[in-house]
A and B are shown apart, each in its own frame.
Chain A
Amino acid sequence: MIMQMKEKLSPFQASILIYLIQSGVTLFSLPRLVAEAFGTNGWIGLIIISFIVNINLVLIWFVFKVSKGKSMFEIISIFPKWITLPFSLFIAVVWMLLGIMVMVKFSMILKVLFYNNVSLIYFLSMGYILTYLLLKKDLYQIAKSTVVLFYFTIWTVFLLAFHLPEFSFTRLTPFIFKGETDMWKGGLSIFTALLGYELSILFVHMIERKPLRSLLVGNSITSVIYLGVTFVSFGFFSFEQLLREMYPVVTLLGYISFPILERVENFTFSVFGLKVLMTTVMYLWGTKELIQYQFKRIKSNFLVMGILIVGFSVSFIPKVIKDVDQWLTYITYSATSIAFLLPIFLLLTILSSKILNRKAANE
C-alpha cells in the first residue's frame, strides 16, 4: 500500500471539514431554539432549513462549475485591489468575530456549568494555543487533523442511545408547529446553527473530485446529527420543559452513566470543545486567506499571530453570555447574508466577464 501525499482534499475529507465547521456551539441550545421557533414537532422545521442550506451549497458549486474550477480569489482578481479591499475586510472581520465569539461562548458555558472558579483566560488560552497549532499550517494539513478530530468526537453521537429507553412518542404530541412560534426570527437563529458551510467557497476548487456531492454530504452529516439530537430531545423532554431548558443537550448529557463512571457530562462537553475549535480555526483560516489576498507581502506566520492577538483581546470585551449572544446575533446575520450574497456576486462577476470577453472577441 503506497500512497503519495496529494495536495488536494479527498471528497470525504471535504465532507468532514464541512461538518466540523458547521457543528458548533449552537448545538447545545438547538432543541430549545427549534421549539421556540417552530413549536411542537419543530424538528420537521430543521429539515426545511437544511434544504435551504443545500440550495446555497448548490449555488457555491455553481460558481465553481461556471468558472471552470477557478478559486474565489482568481475570480475576483479582475478587480483592482482597492475595490475589493473594503469587501474583503468586511467579510474578514465578520468571519473573525464569528470564529472568536463561538469559542468565547463555549468557554463561558464551560465556566458557568462546570468550572465556576476558573478564570476564562485559561480556557481561552488553551483554545488559542490549539488554534495556533492548526492555523499555522495549510488547509491540507488542517483537513488531515480534522479527520482525526472527527473520529475522536463522533462517538459522542452514539451517546444518544442512552436516552432511547426514556424516549416517549406521546411527548412529541400530534400537533405540528403549534404553540407560540416565531418562524422568521427563530428560523434564522436555527439557520445560524448550520452556518459554516459558506467557507467552502474558499476551498471548493481544492476538492479532488465530486465537489457537489461532498459538500452536500457534509451538510447532511450535520443535519442528520442535529435532527437526531433534536428529535430525541423532543421525545425525552416534554415541550414545556424543552422551552425552559437553557441548554437541553447539556442536560441530556447529564443523564448518561456508565457502571464505573457517571455524570460524564463535563468530559463529553469538553470533547465538544474540539468541534468548536474546528469552527473557530476554519473561520480564522478564512479571515487569514482574505487578508493574505489583499496584502500579499505579509508573512503568513505574522498574519496568524496578528489575527490571534487581535482575537484574544476581542475575546474579553463581552463580559457575560448574554453579551456574547448579542454579538453573535448581529454577526451571524451578517454571515448569513455573506453566505448568500457572496456566491451570487461571484456568479455575476463570472457571467459579466464572460459576456464582455465574448463581445471583445466578436469585435
Chain B
Amino acid sequence: MRKDRNRFFKDIKQQIEQPNTAGESILQLFISNFNISSDLSVTEFPHLTVKIYYFSYLINKDHYEQFLTNIRNITKEELQSFLNHSEFNVLSDMNSVEDAILSGSGILFTEKQAYELPFKEGMGRSITPSETETVILGAHDSFVESIDVNLSLIRKRVMSSQLKTIKLHVGNKAKRTVYLLYIEGVASKKDIEEIKKRILSIKNDAIVDTNMLVQFIDEHPNSPFPQFYTTERPDVISYKLFDGKVVGLMDNSPFAFCTPVSFFDFMESMDDFGQRWIVSTFIKVTRYIAILVTLLFTALYVAVTTYHYEMIPQALLPTLLESRSKVPFPPVIEALFLEFLLELLREAGARLPTKVGQTIGIVGGIVIGQAAVQAGITSNILIIVVAASAIASFVVPSYLLSASIRIVRFGFIIISGFWGNLGIIFGMGILIIHLSSLTNLNSPYLLPTSPMFPKFFKYSLIRGPFKKKAERG
C-alpha cells in the first residue's frame, strides 16, 4: 500500500517536473489511467494523426456530429489554425484532462497537445415542484441535480453583480464541485472564510449529497438536531442570500445549504411570507405549540397515568379508567409500542411507491385505530394522544427538524415512565441546556432568543409586517 502510494506520488512528481509538451506522452498517461473503461469511445483521424476520446453519454451528440463534419473537411496543414479557436482549451496536464472528460467534454489529442472540446450535454431531470417542501403561496420550481441549472435558478432571482460565487472541490480522488454563494457587503467575510476552510478540509470521497456534506462540516456532529439549513427551494435560498447568509450548492444534489442559521429558520416556510403577517404569526405560534405537543403530549400521558392520577379531573376519570382497564401493560410500554408502530408506518409510507403506500395507510389505520383497542392492547385515549402528537410532528416545516424532534420524544416518553412529571422537567432541562449550547458556524442556535435580541423577534419568532427598508444586525 505504502509502496503504491509512493509510486503514485513519484508519478505525479515526474508529471510536474516534465510538463507535457508532447500530446503523445499525455495520451499515454491518459490511456493508462482509463485502461479499463469500456464505455470510453474514441474517434480516430489517421490522416491528421488525431484521436478524440469522449464518453458518448456525457456529450451532446448534435454538436459532436457538427464538429466531425467540420474536421473531416480540413487538411493536416489547416488543423493547427482550426484548433487555435478560443473555444478549444489547451489542456496542459493530466488532471485537467481527467476533469474535462469526466465533466462531459471530448478530448482531442494531436501529436503534441491535448485540447478540450466543449460538448457538454445538460442532461438530467427537468425542473419540477418540490415534493418535500410544498407551498401554497409562492414559486413552485425547485432545484434539480444539475448544478448549472441550480445556479441559473438563483441568478435569475438575485440579479446583482454583488452575488459572488466561489468554486471549491471536495474530496481526494473523486472531486466534487461545491459552489459557495454570497452577496458581497451583506454576508460576513469571516463566515465565508470559515466555511471555505471547513469544506476544503474534508478528505472523504464518498459525499454524494448536500445533506451529507453538511454533516462533515458542522460543529456538533453528535447532536440529534440539524444545524445547517438545507432546502430544495431557490426562492428560500435567494431570500437567505439577501439575509446575509452563505449558501452552498453541490453538483448532483438538488439541495442547497445555508449558514449561519438558527433553530427558528427551521420553523419557517415560504408560505409565511405570502400570507398576511397576522395570519402568518398565528401559524408560526401554532408551530411552536405543535413542537411542544410532539415532544411532551405522549410523555405527559405516560406520567399522568403512571404516577399522577390525581391530576385527572373527576369528570374525565371514568372514561380514562375504562379505556385503561383492559390494557395489560404499563402505560410506558403501551405508549412506546404505539409510537414505534407509528414510526414503522411512517417509514414504510415514505419508502413505498404511492400506489402501494395507500394500502399501508389503510392497513395501518384499521390495525391501529380499531383492532388494537378491541384486542385490548392499547387504550382509546392513548391512540388520540399518539395521533395528535404524530400530526403535530408533521406541522414542523423542516423534515430534518421534525425527524429530530420525533427521536427526542422517545427520550421523553421513557424518562416520564421512570420519573413522571419530574422526569419530564429533568428532560426539558437537559434539552434546554443542549439546545442553548449548540452553534452553527459560531452563531448561537437559539438566536435571537438566547442570547436575546428582542429587535429581531419580528423576523424569526413571529412574522412581523414588512418594512420598506431592509434592516440588518
CB-based contact A115/B422 at 8 Å:
yes
B447 within 8 A of A: yes
Binds B, one of A44-52, A137-145, A182-190: A137-145
If A262-B311, A262-B313, A263-B311 touch, whether A147 touches B452 (CB-CB below 8 Å) is yes
Closest CB in chain A relative to B160 CB, distance in Å: 18
A134 within 8 A of B: yes
Cα of A261 to Cα of B260 in the assembled complex, Å: 41
0/1 string, A258-281, CB within 8 A of B gives 1:
011111101100110110010000
Binds A, one of B116-124, B173-181, B367-375, B436-444: B436-444
B312 within 8 A of A: yes
**What chain A residues lie within 8 Å of B454 (beta carbons)?**
12
Cα of A147 to Cα of B450 in the assembled complex, Å: 6
CB-based contact B429/A277 at 8 Å:
yes
CB-based contact A3/B447 at 8 Å:
yes
Task: Give B306-328 interface residues, CB cut-off 8 Å to A.
Answer: 308, 310-313, 316
Chain B, Cβ-Cβ closest to A6: B451
CB-based contact A130/B311 at 8 Å:
no
CB-based contact B473/A1 at 8 Å:
yes
CB-based contact A2/B425 at 8 Å:
no
**What chain B residues lie within 8 Å of A2 (beta carbons)?**
187-188, 191, 243-245, 260, 443, 472-473
Cα of A41 to Cα of B425 in the assembled complex, Å: 35
**What chain A residues lie within 8 Å of B419 (beta carbons)?**
122, 126
B448 within 8 A of A: yes
Cα of A321 to Cα of B101 in the assembled complex, Å: 80
A315 within 8 A of B: no
0/1 string, A68-105, CB within 8 A of B gives 1:
00000000000000000000000000000000000000
B289 within 8 A of A: no
Task: Give A1-21 interface residues, CB cut-off 8 Å to B.
Answer: 1-6, 10, 12-13, 16
Cα of A10 to Cα of B453 in the assembled complex, Å: 9
A151 within 8 A of B: yes
**What chain A residues lie within 8 Å of B308 (beta carbons)?**
266-267
Number of residues on chain B facing chain A (CB within 8 A): 47
CB-based contact B436/A1 at 8 Å:
no
Closest CB in chain B relative to A17 CB, distance in Å: 11
A152 within 8 A of B: yes
If A2-B187, A2-B188, A145-B450 touch, whether A130 touches B444 (CB-CB below 8 Å) is no
If A4-B442, A266-B421 touch, whether A145 touches B313 (CB-CB below 8 Å) is no
CB-based contact A141/B437 at 8 Å:
yes
**What chain B residues lie within 8 Å of A173 (beta carbons)?**
none
**What chain B residues lie within 8 Å of A266 (beta carbons)?**
308, 311, 421-422
If A2-B244, A13-B451 touch, whether A147 touches B311 (CB-CB below 8 Å) is no
0/1 string, B68-80, CB within 8 A of A gives 1:
0000000000000
* Residue from the list A115, A123, A133 in contact with B433, Cβ < 8 A: A133
If A4-B188, A263-B311 touch, whether A145 touches B453 (CB-CB below 8 Å) is no
Cα of A273 to Cα of B459 in the assembled complex, Å: 32
**What chain A residues lie within 8 Å of B456 (beta carbons)?**
1, 3
CB-based contact B312/A147 at 8 Å:
no
CB-based contact A1/B425 at 8 Å:
no
If A133-B430, A141-B436, A152-B428 touch, whether A5 touches B444 (CB-CB below 8 Å) is yes
A309 within 8 A of B: no
A119 within 8 A of B: no
Cα of A201 to Cα of B207 in the assembled complex, Å: 51
Cα of A5 to Cα of B444 in the assembled complex, Å: 7
A257 within 8 A of B: yes
* Residue from the list B422, B432, B459 in contact with A152, Cβ < 8 A: B432
CB-based contact A130/B433 at 8 Å:
yes
Closest CB in chain B relative to A321 CB, distance in Å: 18
Closest CB in chain A relative to B456 CB, distance in Å: 5
If A144-B444, A260-B313 touch, whether A5 touches B439 (CB-CB below 8 Å) is yes
B449 within 8 A of A: yes
Number of residues on chain A facing chain B (CB within 8 A): 43
Chain A, Cβ-Cβ closest to B245: A2
Cα of A126 to Cα of B473 in the assembled complex, Å: 39
B100 within 8 A of A: no
CB-based contact A3/B453 at 8 Å:
yes
B190 within 8 A of A: yes
**What chain B residues lie within 8 Å of A129 (beta carbons)?**
426, 430
Cα of A261 to Cα of B428 in the assembled complex, Å: 20
CB-based contact B422/A151 at 8 Å:
no
* Residue from the list A134, A261, A263, A270 in contact with B422, Cβ < 8 A: A270
A148 within 8 A of B: yes
Cα of A12 to Cα of B308 in the assembled complex, Å: 37
0/1 string, B356-367, CB within 8 A of A gives 1:
000000000000
CB-based contact A130/B429 at 8 Å:
yes
A149 within 8 A of B: yes
Cα of A324 to Cα of B62 in the assembled complex, Å: 89
Cα of A10 to Cα of B430 in the assembled complex, Å: 24
Cβ-closest 5 pairs across A and B: A147-B450, A2-B244, A270-B425, A145-B436, A144-B436
List 26 A–B pairs whose Cβ atoms lie within 8 Å, in order of A's numbering. Answer: A1-B243, A1-B459, A1-B460, A2-B191, A4-B443, A5-B439, A12-B452, A12-B454, A13-B450, A126-B419, A129-B426, A133-B430, A134-B433, A141-B436, A144-B444, A144-B450, A147-B450, A147-B451, A148-B432, A148-B435, A149-B429, A152-B432, A260-B313, A260-B316, A270-B421, A271-B425
List 15 additional A-B contacts (Cβ < 8 Å) besides A5-B439, A145-B433, A151-B449. A2-B443, A3-B448, A4-B442, A13-B451, A126-B419, A130-B426, A133-B433, A147-B451, A148-B449, A148-B450, A266-B308, A266-B311, A267-B311, A267-B424, A270-B424
A interface, CB within 8 angstroms of B: 1-6, 10, 12-13, 16, 110, 115, 122-123, 126, 129-130, 133-134, 137, 141, 143-145, 147-149, 151-152, 257, 259-264, 266-267, 270-271, 273-274, 277
B interface, CB within 8 angstroms of A: 187-188, 190-191, 243-245, 260, 304, 308, 310-313, 316, 419, 421-422, 424-426, 428-430, 432-433, 435-437, 439, 442-444, 446-454, 456, 459-460, 472-473
